[in-house]
Amino acid sequence: MLKKIIIGVGNIFRHDDGFGPAVIKILQTKVIPNYDLLDGGTDGLALLDVIAKYEKAIIIDAVHMSAQPGTVKIFTPKEALIKIKSDVLSTHGFGIAEVIKLAEELNIKTEIVIVGIEPEDISFGEGLSEVVTAKLPEVIAWVYHKNTCSKIP
């Protein structure tokens, strides 16, 4: 059986954009059967080679969804309205939307699930906002206990 991976994407020096890496840091203290963990940083393009090696990739990222800050949504690329713009989905340059589009064009068969959180603050600085920090246990519980593409309880 091919392995699965959980990738936390984001910039820890832009407050809530560091949500993905914060989740990975916590998950590294737990054992998650059949999953590798990766702090994917902000280089979306570099993730293509990583994702292609796995059967399933769960990507955790701060995502612009026009929702209330702290809103968590789990979706597949087909469920997302993906437009290649710098301000759509990812909060950093070559983001998740572009990675998914390229993976599709390159015929990468990895099942991709996105766990997105609406950021409150992506200005320069360290640390997550209170509203985003409060969602860490919920996302950790989903990843740790479910390990599937089901809705957060």
Q: How far is CA 127 from the centre of its chain?
A: 17
Is the residue at 66 inside a domain? Answer: yes
pLDDT score for 107: 84
Is the residue at 48 inside a domain? Answer: yes
Is the residue at 152 inside a domain? Answer: no
Is the residue at 151 inside a domain? Answer: no
Range of the domain at 12: 4-146
Give tens-digit pLDDT for 75-118: 887 776 554 444 444 545 556 777 777 788 788 889 999 899 99
What is the count of structural domains for the chain?
1
Model's pTM, two decimal places?
Answer: 0.84
Q: Give the type of residue at 140.
A: I
Is the residue at 153 inside a domain? Answer: no
Q: Kindly state the average pLDDT of the residues 133-152.
A: 75
CATH number, domain with residue 53 = 3.40.50.1450
Is the residue at 130 inside a domain? Answer: yes
